[in-house]
Amino acid sequence: VLTQSPGTLSLSPGERATLSCRVSQTVTSSYLAWYQQKPGQAPRLLIYGASNRATGIPDRFSGGGSGTDFTLTISRLEPEDFAVYYCQQYVRSPWTFGQGTKVEIK
Amino acid sequence: EVQLVESGGGLVKPGGSLRLSCAASGFTFSSYSMTWLRQAPGKGPEWVSTISSSSRSIYYADSVKGRFTISRDYSKNSLHLQMNSLGAEDTAVYYCARDEGRFPFLHWGQGTLVTVSS
């Protein structure tokens, strides 16, 4: 089970966002991913292997953590970053996702 | 460029059936496993089913086992999901995705909405 917190994060553009994903069983860092999803769109892969940015992802997005606690940090929020973010483990079948954190404009 | 385009969604009554399709292009379809995921309103995505590149291995989530059937057509580069005995809990946007093995889902379709309601 992946538990994301907080459920909603209300921030202003330019602020720093820190999202949490706690996994019920230890996940080897290599197998934790983060996605961004905007309304009406499919999820977009941001981070894989807990800390590696996917191709084309700006460096204001960074992932960290290990074991059972992982974080996604957006250093300075841009207007296009307001969206829902999901973590996913892909170490144990079936791959599972968290319930999401919504980053909304304050 | 990898493209995945789903179709076949719609409104269906409880107990009914629906067949989803996913047209794939921009890559060698026969070289990749393919996966269906779904996302209920306000929830995170959920893995539904995966079919291997050769179709020899097929996997289902417990929630759909015995009701859903995944298949692929190599001549048309298409992926299918036959859904039977649908219930309200199956209401979701259904996505097809290229399976990257031990790597997250990089390529997703735009999704097709399935609504199960009387």
CB spacing of A97 vs B61 below 8 angstroms: no
B51-72 pLDDT, tens digit each: 999 999 999 999 999 999 999 9
- A79–B contact, CB cutoff 8 A: no
Q: Are B68 and B48 in contact (CB under 8 A)?
A: yes
> Which residues in chain B touch residue A42, judged by CB atoms under 8 angstroms apart?
95, 108-111
Residue B4 scores a pLDDT above 80: yes
CB spacing of B108 vs A97 below 8 angstroms: no
Neighbours of A58 (CB within 10 A): 13
Cα(A93)–Cα(A4) distance, rounded to whole angstroms?
Answer: 20
Read off the pLDDT of each residue in B80-106 and give the average, rounded to a whole number: 95
Contacting B residues, span 64-103, partner chain A, CB-CB under 8 Å:
95, 102-103
Cα(B46)–Cα(B49) distance, rounded to whole angstroms?
Answer: 10
pLDDT tier, B84 (very low <50, low <70, confident <90, very high otherwise): very high
- Output the pLDDT for position A72: 98
- Output the pLDDT for position A29: 64
Write the DSSP symbol of residue A104: E
Cα(A16)–Cα(B91) distance, rounded to whole angstroms?
Answer: 35
- Output the pLDDT for position A93: 83
Residue B93 scores a pLDDT above 80: yes
> Which residues in chain A touch residue B44, judged by CB atoms under 8 angstroms apart?
86, 97-100
Read off the pLDDT of each residue in B3-30 and give the average, rounded to a whole number: 98
Cα(B62)–Cα(A41) distance, rounded to whole angstroms?
Answer: 26
Q: What is the dihedral of CA A81, B96, B30, B77, to 10 degrees?
A: -110
CB spacing of A45 vs B104 below 8 angstroms: yes
Write the DSSP symbol of residue B108: B
B91 burial type by CB count under 10 A (0-12 exposed, 13-18 middle, 19+ buried): middle
- Alpha carbon distances (Å) from A19 to A10, A102, B95: 12, 9, 25
Q: CA of B85 to nearest chain A CA: how many angstroms apart?
A: 23
Structure tokens at B46: 């959920």
Bridge partners, residue B93, by sequence: B39, B113
Bridge partners, residue A86, by sequence: A35
Which residue from A33, A48, A99 is facing B44, i.e. has the nearest CB?
A99
Structure tokens at B60: 């289902």
Q: Which residue has the tokens 């990898």?
A: B2
Which residue from B61, B104, B109 is facing A42, i.e. has the nearest CB?
B109
Read off the pLDDT of each residue in B3-32 and give the average, rounded to a whole number: 98
Closest residue in A to B49 (Cα) is A94
Residue pLDDT tens, chain A, 106 long: 899 999 999 999 999 999 999 998 877 767 999 999 999 999 999 999 999 999 999 999 999 998 889 999 999 999 999 999 999 999 888 899 999 999 999 9
Q: CA of A101 to nearest chain B CA: how many angstroms apart?
A: 10
